Amino acid sequence: MKIGELSRATGTNIETIRYYERIGLLPAPARTDANYRSYGDAHRARLRFVRHSRELGFTIDEIRSLLDLSDHPERDCADADRIASAHLEQVEAKIAQLSALRDELTRIVGRCRGGLAGDCRVIEALGDHGQCGGAH
């Protein structure tokens, strides 16, 4: 299939596919006589793997390691589990951090009673970190 078809089949931008090839995440496919990229099922499966991993928030480097494992079925699965577990921890940390932000933003927004910017509690709270109770 040509790059446009692969793009539609995986929901990936064409430029992104070429970008992945450029950085070595996808192997360079064969070319037609007109120098068009020609992909097979293996390319599609690999790209789906990459896109799904990206949707889950894995970095390109993490995906590189995961693909490497996937290419070497004789290796230890524990590596994949380690990468995924570490990523899960990061996601949980990010959720905790954002929850703290949400709480503080809720507090700040709730204080607005309208009026002029000169008396604005929102602006005041942004300038004065001491009001936060050490949340961040």
Partner DNA sequence: GCTTGACCCTGTAGTTGCTACAGGGTGCAT
Partner DNA sequence: ATGCACCCTGTAGCAACTACAGGGTCAAGC
Residue 31 interacting with a second copy (CB under 8 A): no
Residues 31-90 contacting DNA, CB under 7 A: 32-37, 54, 59-61
Give yes or no for residue 13 binding DNA (CB under 7 A).
yes
Which residues fall within 8 angstroms of residue 11, CB to CB, at 6 or more apart?
Answer: 51
> What residue type is 84 in one-letter code?
A
Helix (H) or strand (E) holding 67: helix 60-71
Q: Which does 42 bind (CB under 5 to 8 A by kind): a second copy, DNA, none?
A: none
> For residue 100, what are its two tokens?
């703290």
Nearer to a second copy, 32 or 90 (CB): 90
Site for a second copy in 43-72 (CB under 8 A): 45, 48-49, 52-53, 55-57, 66, 69-70, 72
Give the separation between CA 134 and CA 132, rounded to whole angstroms.
5
Structure token pair of residue 67: 């693909």
Q: Which one among 2, 36, 42, 119 touches a second copy, defined by CB under 8 A? A: 119
Structure tokens belonging to residue 106:
């809720």
Size of the site for DNA (CB under 7 A): 21
